């Protein structure tokens, strides 16, 4: 079985993946460029490859993404429609996302962002200390990441609700679905964490109308995709007091431009798209598991529904 490793990444990152995959798959041939005999490629291991790069591989049996999000991959009009596509569900990345979400909620709950400003200004003022159960948190998205984050926050005592586009049930969670339930939950929540997949239906999900539905003074934590948020509308909501704070890990354009208003905004915390990164060590084991399943004719894990977009 010949494997084709393709992606838009620095050489050092590509080489790291190559080394880990070679160690995990010593009997496989791993290619870094399309061979002259395209028929020998059976699996493509990809990280947002260039559009059209998977065309003309007649024996391709699996496209395995090493990133969790596949929205950019699905924008390729030449992506072979008949080949199964699997996204990455990396246990280490899931754990990192939980840590970031906990940090963001704890920082908002205990006023740590405000206290950091007070230190810069030399101000000594003790904030009120609320119980976790008194803070309402809404997690948007109930996939691998959203479900884990919601459960971890609930375990810390926060009043957690979780909303998804489709009805879902998860033990110990208040699960919601539908537009009416979303509007009611947004009006109630003091912290909203976005972990929705990016699809045509969720593009610019947080526009001016959606932000106006949120509880006045609430905080938005966007850990999903920059395209979920209308940045101009967000700045207006912060200026008007409709929103009190935004923690942003992802942006419409990355890296964030040096002169962007978010950099120096007192109500915005900027992260350089680092909330949860794929850990190549554990992700290589996930790839290996799907290759073994393919070889043995077993069901593949984490297949993407192209109709849903995730």
Q: Which residues are catalytic?
A: 225, 273
Per-residue burial over 23-50, b = 16 or more CB atoms within 10 Å of its CB, e = otherwise: eebeeeeebeebeeeeeebbbbbbbbbe
Report how far residue 44's alpha carbon sits from residue 294's, in angstroms, rounded to the nearest whole number: 13
> Within 13 Å, how many C-alpha atoms sit on residue 170's CB side?
24
Distances (CA, A) of 57 to 83, 130, 283: 10, 59, 24
Determine the Cα–Cα distance for residues 167 and 88; give it in Å rounded to an integer: 23
Which residue(s) pair with 31 in the sheet? 4
Residues 214/182, Cβ–Cβ less than 8 Å: no
DSSP state of 290: H
CA 273/CA 11 separation, integer angstroms = 19
């Amino acid at each position: 079985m010949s494997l084709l490793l393709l992606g838009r990444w620095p050489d050092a990152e590509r080489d790291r993946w190559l080394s880990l995959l070679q160690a995990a798959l010593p009997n496989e041939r791993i290619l870094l460029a399309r061979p002259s005999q395209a028929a020998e490629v059976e699996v493509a291991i990809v990280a947002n490859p260039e559009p059209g790069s998977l065309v003309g591989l007649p024996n391709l049996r699996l496209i395995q993404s090493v990133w969790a999000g596949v929205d950019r991959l699905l924008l390729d009009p030449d992506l072979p429609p008949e080949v199964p596509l699997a996204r990455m569900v990396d246990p280490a990345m899931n754990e990192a996302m939980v840590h970031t979400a906990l940090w963001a909620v704890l920082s908002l709950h205990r006023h740590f962002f405000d206290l950091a400003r007070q230190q810069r200004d030399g101000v000594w003022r003790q904030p009120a200390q609320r119980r976790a159960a008194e803070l309402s948190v809404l997690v948007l998205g109930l996939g691998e990441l959203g479900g884990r984050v919601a459960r971890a926050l609930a375990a810390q005592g926060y009043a957690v609700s979780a909303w998804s586009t489709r009805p879902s049930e998860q033990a110990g969670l208040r699960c919601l679905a539908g537009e009416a339930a979303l509007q009611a939950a947004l009006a109630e929540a003091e912290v909203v964490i976005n972990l929705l997949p990016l699809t045509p239906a969720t593009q610019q999900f947080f526009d001016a109308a959606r932000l106006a539905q949120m509880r006045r003074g609430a905080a938005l934590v966007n850990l999903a995709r920059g395209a979920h948020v209308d940045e101009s509308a967000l700045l207006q909501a912060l200026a008007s007091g409709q929103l009190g704070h935004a923690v942003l890990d992802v942006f419409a354009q990355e890296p964030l431009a040096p002169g962007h208003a978010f950099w120096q905004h007192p109500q915005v915390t900027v992260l350089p798209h680092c909330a949860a990164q794929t850990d190549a060590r554990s992700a290589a084991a996930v790839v290996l598991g799907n290759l073994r399943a393919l070889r043995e004719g077993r069901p593949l894990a984490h297949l993407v529904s192209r109709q849903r977009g995730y």
